[in-house]
A and B are shown apart, each in its own frame.
Chain A
Amino acid sequence: MALQNSTSRPVKTVRFHQNWSAYAFLAPALVILFLSLLLPAVATLLMSFTDVSFLKPTSFIGFDNYIKLFNDTRFQQAVGNTIHYTIGVTFPTMLLGLLAAVALNQKVPGRMAFRTIFYLPVLTSLIAAAVVWAYVYEPYAGPLNGVLTRVGLPPQPWLQNPSLAMNALIIMAIWRDFGTAMIIYLAGLQDIPNDLYEAARLDGAKGKDIFLRITVPMLSSVTFYLLIILIVQTFQVFGAIYVMTQGGPLGSTETVVYQMYQTAFGYTEFGYGAAMSTILFLTILVFSIIGTRIMRRKDA
């Protein structure tokens, strides 16, 4: 009888009854995710179709914010700055991370100490690091200009010159992020079977060939993963700019997220800021989907 009862139930109901405890454990996390991520995301999307502001009553304006955005030269400059920052940080960070990982994957004396030292910036507070770097870049008393002066070079207004400021921020970001790239590459390197290197040595390959023909291709999954997370991370840069340049000088370090913050909370144009946020969200989503697809194809 019991068997008859259980088989007569719809399959989906049976599955739910079997898995209810799993749903119960997932529920708190799902509620938090819904309240903190999904709800604000939907609210932002809806807000982007309005002119919500503290200064006037809210009304639905359709795609006006988006049309305005695509004609906004300041936004275009912010997009350009963001791409400059993303490219400037992502590729050198990956390259330095890879070189450091390859070097510290060898049995060199003090390699654990070097690994720790290179990873330490990742662990520091971003705000604290930004304050320290602002001091390093300080035009009169900063140690960087001190060094330049000592070797006979002219001091530079690192954060005050529009053509230098973004690169100064990029250098700081590379310093802070390459430890992450190094650790991820180290994990990838340790996954490469030693047999492959021995086979390559016997096949007559030397250092450069082994690196380019074995190590780099064997790290391609790790490289794609790093590329995606660094692009997504650098696209959202805000903290360092807020502390060190406030988007200046002359908007040369104003990125999309910083401009979004300024628009929404500085000028109280929440609808317009929401449209910027939606565009940024979609851009990041596209990169994430491309990254996930590539990873899946590589794993298959």
Chain B
Amino acid sequence: MTILVKPSGSPPEKLQPTGWLKYLSFSLDHKVIGLQYLVCGFLFYLIGGSLAGAIRVELISPLSDFMPREVYNQVLTLHGTIMIFLWIVPVVNGAFGNYLIPFYVGARDMAFPRLNAVAFWLIPPSGLMLITSYFINGAAQSGWTAYPPLSITTPAAGQIIWILSVLLLGGSSIFGGINFIATILKLRRPGLKLMQLPMYCWAMLGTSILVVLSTPVLAGTLILLSFDIVAHTGFFNPSLGGNVIVYQHLFWFYSHPAVYIMVLPAFGLVSEILPIHSRKPLFGYTTMVFSIMGIVVLGLVVWAHHMFTSGTPPWMRLFFTIATAFIAVPTGIKFFNWVATLWGGKIALNPAMLFSCGFIINFVLGGITGVALAQVPFDVHVHDTYFVVAHFHYIVYGGSVFVIFSSIYHWFPKFTGKMLNENLGRFHFIITFIGFNLCFAPQHWLGLNGMPRRVAEYDPQFQLINQLSSVGALLMALSTLPFLWNILQSILYGDDAGDNPWNALTPEWLTSSPPPVENWEGEAPLVLEPYGYGEKHLNKTQEEKK
């Protein structure tokens, strides 16, 4: 059965706001929604970053003198929740996914445009709700994991608001995931096969499968937790006969895949950026596809490696250690494919490329500590220390956030039709890279020597290293300034980018910058080889066209 759809949605075009006002409207255009996600996510990144700054200021001295312990706990909870649920997940999935996926599949919009807009507009209210909970009897204090019994015994108001906010964000994420699956599988331009899609489509397909399968479990768990807090049931309350370990299992069944929800789209984005700026085809397309799907399958069965110190039985430890170690195989394949893509290429050292290379370096370091953490004897030693903090910041900041910056530098000309200042971008990269490594590399040492995480006070012997780390955090904070200046300056006075400043072959560059409402003036181009750089027949056809 076929249906007729008006791609631009029901409000007549005359009634839709134009200019910058459309970014504040319930627009159904996937490009507007993508930029809404990006800007909204970046605002939350600034808030979450300020909270991180507050944490690093507190940790300059061993005593909790900058803020009381309860406030420190609230700040670290808000920092984690904002960075994960309001910055990285919405931006690597929602922002770039919404902007790019319809181009890549040759469609004029997402499969369900109205659901798409609903998914975005759930985010700002829940984010604001989460932040305002700080001013109502204090925010949640139990970290982004909200482990009971801590989350049951700390003040209830903040924790309940936290739960509601995460439930709304989870719903938004599920709606987005359904939309991406339908768009990639069902809305492809006729004649375009799955194995001809750009790699980011595969990454988003894998991510969306993870979102649809695992996020509902977190929702159910949080509903049970809210029963424990409000109705005083005993699901996770040992004093009422409940079981805290069940919460941990259910929580990590979502939250380990959440790591892949944050980093798989980043893999996809890097796979788009590297071939364009090194003028070479993406190395090992098929192995990339299979390794993404391998990560999806394995990612669902490794959750208990977060729980090695929670009294897990030996057979479970063994299983989850082995399963986790196996994830290194597909991830390693991807890493070597990226290196092979760069190998012998005509590399342009522009900010997009630099941030992507920074991603590769940081991600390998984070990956190696990840494999180390999967080994039970080592994990028992460093569990809940700063080693873990260093590890996952190498993955989510050194990995995902570096890719977000790389993607902004890469697609900014498409978003706005203006070029960014490259030298300012390189400066931004250097400060970010130095600041990031200065901030988090020493934390490995802190963790190995036993400094626990999530505590406002620490042993004075760690002071010097902590101060070093705080200097790194300051550099990271400062690095945002040249970036913001660059964006503002370029939007106002930047050079015109033209339609295809990178001479790229992927479909989003084969239209004007910024693209028209329906993506292409005429028929969507059929791109069968999105990575055909440096091949002779291509140059020939392009000459023929001229």
Q: Do A and B truly interact?
A: no
* Residues of A bordering B, CB below 8 Å: none
